[in-house]
Amino acid sequence: MIYLLALSSMITFFSSLMPSATSVIIVVLSLFFFGFAIIQSIIQGISPYFEPLYSFYYLFNIITESLDPNLYFNYQFRYNFDECVWWGFPTIEGAVISLIIYFIIFILLAYFIFEKKEI
């Protein structure tokens, strides 16, 4: 639910910037499928021990992992394979806080842009 709110606030923000709904759909889908994964890969290459809570792509993993009835949240959330770190999924607290921050930032930016356009 919080993930959908954060994603819809991002879509609202982009729709306040762009005149066409088609361009918003293309930008959001390309960001979701390609952009966040590329940005996450670049930042993980620079600093592999920095948890990617900034990435919707990474935050989405908590949804798929929380559907597993045998999930045990108290184990190590990163896996170290010969100096290569792979982050599996965030903690529930980290995901909720990150998604709420995304929601607040994008909704406020969209509000200010829509308000400025009306004047």
> Would you write out the chain's pLDDT as a tens digit for each of its 119 residues?
888 898 899 889 989 888 888 888 898 889 888 888 888 888 877 877 777 888 887 788 777 777 776 666 544 455 556 666 667 777 778 888 989 999 999 999 999 998 888 75
Please list, in sequence order, all residues whose beta carbon lies within 8 angstroms of the beta carbon of residue 31, skipping any fewer than 6 positions away. 56
> Phi/psi at 80 (nearest 5 deg)?
-105, 110
Distance CA 107, CA 104 (A): 5
Supply the pLDDT for residue 112.
93
Instruction: Take residue 59 and report the two structure tokens written for it.
Output: 């935050």
Nearest to 83 by CA among 47, 36, 119: 47
